[in-house]
Copies of this chain bind each other. A is one copy, B any other.
Amino acid sequence: MRFDVTILGSSSATPIYNRNPTSQALNINERFYLIDCGEGTQQQMLRFDVKPGKIDHIFISHLHGDHYLGLIGLLSSMHLNGRKKPMHIFGPPDLKKIIDINLECSWTKLNYELIFHPLKNTETEVIFENKDIIVQTIILNHRIPCTGFLFSQKKNLLKLNATQLEHYQVGRNQFLKLKQGEDFVNENGERVPNSVLTIKPEDPKSYAYCSDTLAGEAYLPQIEDVDLLYHEATFMHDLLARAQETYHTTALQAGEIAFKTGVKKLLIGHFSARYKTLDGLLEEARSVFKETDLAIEGKVFTI
């Protein structure tokens, strides 16, 4: 099952040096999920060929402009381009007010249904589930209420071994039971163990998105062992005081968090406008956690 993330923007606060504010597009089994939507996200989607029509769920972490100011434009363009199917938006309760006033002032009635899911931000909650994934919030610690998101693939069903099915003459009506782990008993009452007829599927994968936050302890249990952790790393560690004052994380701290939680891979982003090049941030995170990459716009990371 495809599970990858395309970086659409990774600048913090102000866009600069052609770095756009935060947005990411997750592709999970050919369904698309947008995480955050900074100004210019729809332009970035055009640039990196992420089709708005394939997105049915948008997750907004918090109401600092660099994480949501592209949302109204994207929703309007979907409307103007003839979207009919519903759109689900998950975000802070106040986001609904912002959407409503923009639509009202432009005399716009969307020609598709907009279903708004307000996030609690007091405790972790499961906010979405379908056949492929479960999405939970992660309570972060920022200057204003801010949630991260944990996307966990569901356990995959067993795969059928075609050669063995033919050999043991297993009928189609048994396939689902086999996929669910049952043994096969033939007409003569002979039992064939499930392991002979099936192949172990891939382990389910997980992706955690943590932006913006003071480096903390509270949310670490939730992101333990995830396959890919995106964590903000706004500053280098020489600016630790500034990071703490503004409720952000340094690249070194992001590396430490990845190390402590045993994640497989770390992706850092949300870079301060002061960094024209990003090598320093990468080096710093890698000094404690080797498997680190930079969230560069247009890059696709397979989970």
Where the two chains meet, the residues of A that have a C-beta atom closer than 8 Å to any C-beta of B are 13-16, 18, 20-21, 39-40, 42-43, 46, 63-66, 69-70, 72-73, 76-77, 80-81, 92, 94-95, 97-98, 101-102, 105-107, 143-144
Contacts and interface: CB of A to CB of B under 8 A. Distances in A.
Contacts of A107: 143-144
B46 A43 contact: no
A97 B106 contact: no
30 contacts: A13-B80, A14-B76, A14-B77, A14-B80, A15-B46, A15-B73, A18-B46, A20-B43, A39-B40, A39-B42, A39-B43, A39-B69, A39-B70, A39-B73, A40-B43, A63-B105, A63-B106, A65-B106, A66-B73, A66-B76, A69-B72, A69-B73, A92-B105, A95-B105, A97-B101, A98-B102, A98-B105, A101-B101, A106-B144, A107-B143
Most buried by B among A14, A72, A102: A14
Contacts of A42: 14-15, 39
A201 to B, nearest CB: 41
A106 B64 contact: yes
Contacts of A40: 39-40, 43
Given A15-B73, A66-B76, 7 more contacts: A39-B43, A40-B40, A65-B73, A69-B73, A97-B105, A98-B105, A107-B144
Contacts of A105: 63, 92, 94-95, 97-98
B101 A98 contact: yes
A14 B81 contact: yes
Top 10 closest pairs, chain A to chain B, by CB:
A94-B105, A14-B77, A39-B73, A40-B40, A63-B105, A65-B76, A69-B73, A63-B106, A15-B43, A107-B144
A49 to B, nearest CB: 13
A66 B63 CA distance: 21
Contacts of A70: 39
A20 B15 CA distance: 16
A98 B105 CA distance: 8
